[in-house]
Amino acid sequence: MDLKKITNKIIVKGKNYDMPFSKGILARSLTAAGMKPSEAYYIAKEIEKMLNEKRVDTITKDEIRRIVYEYLLSKNYKCIAEKYLLWRRILKKHPIIILIGGASGVGTSTIAFELASRLGIPSVIGTDSIREVMRGSVSKDLVPMLYESSYTAWKALRIPSETNDKDIHILGFERHVELVLVGVECLIDRSLKEGLSVIIEGTHIIPGFMKEKYTKMPNIITLILTLSSEKMHKERFAARAKITSRPMERYLKHFKIIRKINDYIVKKAYEYDIPVIENISISESVEKCLEVITERFIYLDKNESK
């Protein structure tokens, strides 16, 4: 099929597939490198205009990157040009796994989708979805805890009295996390094997619980989100209820346990030196996440240059 005839657009040739040139995709890449969205879209339009004036029908991804890089340098965007090239270079060489954890309601899914859009990562998977898949293969009678939520998992403890002085809600949460992480680790293994970047988000991403082999991989990046304000946390549940089918009342009923889990996750993050991001503003949180990810990419790039 001749994609050029169908779309009448510039075709960008990739390793495994071809696709029409997109100003939106290029603008998101520039935004991820630190450029303001308005400037990024303007430059994307200018790049498209340049290609059309040169009557370019097809172009490779590497050629696009070179043109964008040189254009940015010509406009005195040296820092953004270097960061843009770094992002493209690392994402081309490695499958990147970004893990975003946080208690229910702190905004892990929102930040995950924003990051995916900026970075051009095609897959965002929630740990709740992984849990649902696991439920399909394991009966409730066999593993009742898998059928509870993270904040009600304590109800499925077999011997609740034997908690070894640990808070019963946190103990139930830990057992719940251990079960779901089996599915999370299987997903990571598959992504690494197939060379596919993915963002995994949800309550079950807890520092210290994943196998050591994953925590030592430089292309697996863990971030933790939190909301220190209980008032703002409650408001997030109300806002989410307006746009999803999730009833606010269920979360507010268990709010004290959810807050306890939030504090526990943050404590574990500090214990394992994992970045904790206060998710008050979506745009600011995304920028902070990108800063952490960029630092990791610089590390990867330097190691490969040795």
pTM: 0.85
- The predicted pLDDT at position 255 comes to 94
- The predicted pLDDT at position 303 comes to 78
- The predicted pLDDT at position 162 comes to 53
Q: Name the residue among 256, 211, 212, 214 with its Cα closest to residue 233.
A: 256
Task: Write the DSSP string, the chain.
Answer: --HHHHH-SPEEE-SS-EEE--HHHHHHHHHHTT--HHHHHHHHHHHHHHHHHTT--EEEHHHHHHHHHHHHHHTT-HHHHHHHHHHHHHHHHS--EEEEE--TTS-HHHHHHHHHHHHT--EEEEHHHHHHHHHTTS-TTT-GGGGS-TTTGGGG-SSTT--TTS-HHHHHHHHHHHHHHHHHHHHHHHHHHHT--EEEEETT--TTTS-HHHHT-TTEEEEEEE---HHHHHHHHHHHHHHSS--HHHHHHTHHHHHHHHHHHHHHHHHTT--EEE-SSHHHHHHHHHHHHHHHHHHHHHHHH-
Q: What SS3 class is residue 208?
A: coil
Give the number of C-alpha atoms closer than 13 A to the C-alpha of residue 129, restricted to the C-beta side.
9
Q: Tens digits of per-residue pLDDT, 247-300?
A: 788 889 999 999 999 999 999 999 999 999 999 999 999 999 999 999 998 888
Residue span(s) of the chain under CATH 3.40.50.300 come to 97-305
Tell me how far apart the alpha carbons of residues 280 and 232 are, in angstroms, rounded to a whole number. Answer: 8
Averages of pLDDT over runs of 10 residues in the chain (306 residues) are 55 80 88 86 92 90 91 93 88 90 95 89 93 92 92 85 73 95 95 94 95 91 96 88 76 94 97 96 93 90 74
Query: Does domain 97-305 sit in CATH 3.40.50.300?
Result: yes
Q: Tens digits of per-residue pLDDT, 226-254?
A: 999 999 999 988 887 777 767 788 889 99
- The predicted pLDDT at position 194 comes to 92
- The predicted pLDDT at position 6 comes to 43
Residue 106: phi and psi, rounded to 5, are -85, -10
